[in-house]
């Protein structure tokens, strides 16, 4: 089983999966292999519906978030499909196996005032202020994933055209607009670094190496703490804020989908629910026939 898992992971690397996805698949598959080993089962023939059901029951009792369980299921299903495709296993253990439904959670996002406070706090850092400010502004202005931001080079920013060239999931390239505020912050940051070649990383850490996804998350966490944020701020919250604020101000859903790099429109549509919640609040506060009866004059 462990040898086949290793071969499957090599297969995934050849399909340009993101480092984060590969790490998650590796962790989840090794975890399942350990589960079987504890029960004295190490052969691929032990990858059965019965054992998957037992593993699924354990995961659902141990993990509080259903979507985390489903992510692990996704790794196992991909592995099972690969085994079947290569005629290593005659039966797919997930065939007709009932699975838990995905939780429909609304994305957490920052208000426009909270984003402004975050940017101000980022710029106040004595040593890394220009970089941190440019980072926060770019992520909010473009809605990029942290892995996408980490992978950017200086030459990927088109200051004249007002956009950035991004390599997204599945090695798919896209062009994303960048606002004037973010472009100005990037200019100031790069000017402070001196002569920057096009192939150099856009954001550097304290060791003058490429700023990693983990480094980006830590930077935003520090800026949020400096801003006095009452909740934990993540890079994805800026991405959620980008999409939500665009739709709140009338942006086209298809356009937002392209900018976010979503393959399916349904993935983007979750942000319309957030916007609808805001509209309902406005309605409840203003309409005389709403639940609250509207605001009194």
pTM beyond 0.85, yes or no:
no
pLDDT-wise least confident of 141-155, 202-216, 273-287? 273-287
Between residues 211 and 107, the one the model is more confident about: 211
Mean pLDDT, residues 143-155: 96
Model pLDDT, residue 297? 45
Active-site pick, 169, 174, 221, 226: 169
Residue 101 bears catalytic tag: no
262 is a catalytic site residue? yes
| Pick from 66-80, 83-97, 122-136, 279-293: least confident | 279-293
Query: Catalytic: 280?
Result: no
* Catalytic-labelled residue, pool 72, 131, 146, 239: 239
State both tokens at 47: 């990858």
Does the annotation count 53 as an active-site position?
no
- pLDDT tier at 65, thresholds 50, 70, 90: confident
Are residue 139 and residue 242 in the same domain, yes or no? yes
> Which range in 12-21, 58-67, 186-195 is most confidently predicted, on average pLDDT?
186-195
Residue 192 has pLDDT above 90, yes or no: yes
Tokens 């029960």 correspond to what residue?
39
> Does residue 30 form part of some domain?
yes
Which residues face 201 on adjacent strands? 153
According to DSSP, the residues that pair with 166 across neighbouring strands are 174
In a domain, 103, yes or no: no
Strands 157-158 and 163-167, by their bridges, are antiparallel
Catalytic option among 145, 146, 240, 245: 145
Task: Classify residue 16 as exposed, middle or buried by CB count within 10 Å of its CB (0-12, 13-18, 19+).
Answer: exposed
Cα distances (Å, whole numbers) of residue 245 to 14, 227, 275: 37, 20, 8
Q: Which of 174, 210, 221, 236 is catalytic?
A: 236
Inside any domain, residue 91: no
Query: Are residues 132 and 243 located together in one domain of the fold?
Result: yes
Tens of pLDDT, residues 107-127? 889 999 999 999 999 999 778
203 burial via Cβ count (<10 Å: 0-12, 13-18, 19+): buried
Q: What is the mean pLDDT of the chain?
A: 88
Question: Rounded distance, CA 247 to CA 267, Å?
Answer: 14
Examine residue 181 and state whether it is found in any structural domain, yes or no: yes
Q: What is the pLDDT of residue 1?
A: 82
Q: For residue 92, tell me if it sits in a domain.
A: no
- Report the alpha-carbon angle 160-162-164, nearest 5: 110
Percent residues over pLDDT 70 in the chain: 92
Rg value, the chain, Cα = 23
Pair (137, 240) in one structural domain:
yes
Contacts by 216-219, CB closer than 8 A, 24 or more apart: 216/135, 216/139, 216/146, 216/149, 216/150, 217/146, 219/122, 219/128, 219/132, 219/135
Mean pLDDT across 73-90: 88
The token pair at 167 is 């390599």
Q: Is 3 a catalytic residue?
A: no
- The verdict on 152 and 252 lying in the same domain is yes
Token readout for 257 is 């989908």
CATH number of the structural domain spanning residue 245 = 1.10.443.10
Find the CATH number of the domain harbouring 66: 1.10.150.130
Give the Cα separation of 58 and 69 in Å (integer). Answer: 10
Range ranked top by mean pLDDT from 84-98, 100-114, 213-227: 213-227
Q: Is 145 a catalytic residue?
A: yes
Q: What is the DSSP string of the chain?
A: -HHHHHHHHHHHHTTT--HHHHHHHHHHHHHHHHHHHTTT--SGGG--HHHHHHHHHHHHHH-S-HHHHHHHHHHHHHHHHHHHHTTS-SS-TTTT---PPPP-PPPP---HHHHHHHHHHHHT-TTTHHHHHHHHHHHHHH---HHHHHT-BGGGEETTTTEEEEE-GGG-EEEEE--HHHHHHHHHHHHHT-S--TTSBSSB-TTSSBPPHHHHHHHHHHHHHHTT-SS---HHHHHHHHHHHHHHTT--HHHHHHHHT-SSHHHHTHHHHHHHHHHHHHHHHH-TTSTT-----
Which two tokens mark 188? 């100031």
**Distance (Å, whole) CA 163 – CA 174:** 10
Are residues 274 and 138 part of one domain? yes
Instruction: List the domain range (segments joined by +) for residue 47.
Output: 2-85
């Amino acid at each position: 089983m462990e040898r086949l898992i290793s071969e499957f992971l090599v297969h995934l690397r050849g399909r340009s999966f993101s480092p984060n996805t590969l790490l998650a698949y590796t962790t989840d598959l090794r975890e399942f292999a350990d589960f079987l080993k504890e029960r004295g089962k190490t052969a691929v023939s032990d990858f059965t519906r019965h054992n998957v059901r037992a593993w699924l029951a354990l995961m659902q009792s141990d993990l509080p978030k259903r979507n985390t369980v489903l992510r692990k299921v996704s790794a196992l299903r991909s592995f099972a499909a690969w085994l079947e495709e290569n005629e290593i296993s005659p039966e797919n253990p997930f065939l007709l196996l009932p699975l838990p439904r995905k939780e429909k959670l609304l994305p957490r996002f920052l208000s426009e005032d909270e984003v402004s406070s975050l940017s101000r706090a980022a710029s106040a850092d004595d040593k890394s202020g220009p970089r941190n400010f440019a980072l926060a502004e770019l992520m909010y202005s473009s809605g990029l994933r942290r892995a996408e931001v980490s992978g950017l080079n200086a030459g990927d920013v088109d200051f004249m055209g007002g956009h950035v060239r991004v390599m997204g999931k599945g090695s798919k390239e896209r062009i994303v607009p960048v606002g004037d505020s973010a472009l100005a912050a990037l200019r100031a940051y790069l000017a402070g670094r001196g002569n920057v070649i096009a192939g150099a990383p856009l954001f550097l850490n304290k060791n003058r190496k490429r700023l990693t996804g983990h480094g980006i998350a830590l930077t935003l966490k520090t800026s949020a703490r400096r801003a006095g944020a009452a909740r934990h701020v993540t890079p994805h919250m800026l991405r959620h804020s980008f999409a939500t604020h665009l739709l709140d101000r009338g942006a086209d859903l298809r356009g937002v989908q392209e900018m976010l790099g979503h393959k399916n429109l349904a993935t983007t549509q979750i942000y319309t629910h957030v916007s609808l919640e805001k509209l309902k609040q406005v309605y409840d506060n203003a309409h005389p026939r709403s639940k609250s009866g509207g605001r009194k004059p």
